[in-house]
Amino acid sequence: MPSLAAIRAQRHSARLRALRARAAEVAASQPGGEVWLFGSMARGNWDGCSDVDLLAIAPSRQQADALADALLDARLGDDVLALSQERWQQLKQGDDPYWRAIGRDALRLDQP
């Protein structure tokens, strides 16, 4: 019988594969868009009560908003934050420890 840790790792891998596939589909409909997973699911320390936190990154804030709406419509994330590519770079390289941690731990979903 597999250990609880092995079952958890299998479920995490399966969930990430499904998220990647769906995120790639949605991002393909939004030119220049990127989808990033952050939070406990990205770090691998999620549990049954964890939500799915996503970043919708695009060349402009308007495009990022459209991508965020598409991700929400596809029910891929519980929390989706829209940022322009410029703002994302500023935040993840800035002084705020919250955004630096997100920048360090985030996983890009729309690419293999």
The pTM of this model reads 0.88
pLDDT at 45: 83
Range of the domain at 20: 4-108
Full strand arrangement of the beta sheet holding 34-38: 79-84, 53-58, 34-38, 107-108
Number of separate domains in the chain: 1
Look up the CATH number of the domain holding residue 76.
3.30.460.10
Phi/psi at 34 (5° precision):
-130, 145
Q: How confident is the model at residue 4 (pLDDT cuts 50, 70, 90)?
A: confident
Spatial separation of the C-alpha atoms in residues 52 and 70, rounded to whole Å: 15
Question: Does the pLDDT of residue 15 top 80, yes or no?
Answer: yes
pLDDT digits (tens, 9 = 90+) for 36-83: 999 988 888 877 777 899 999 999 999 999 999 999 999 999 999 999
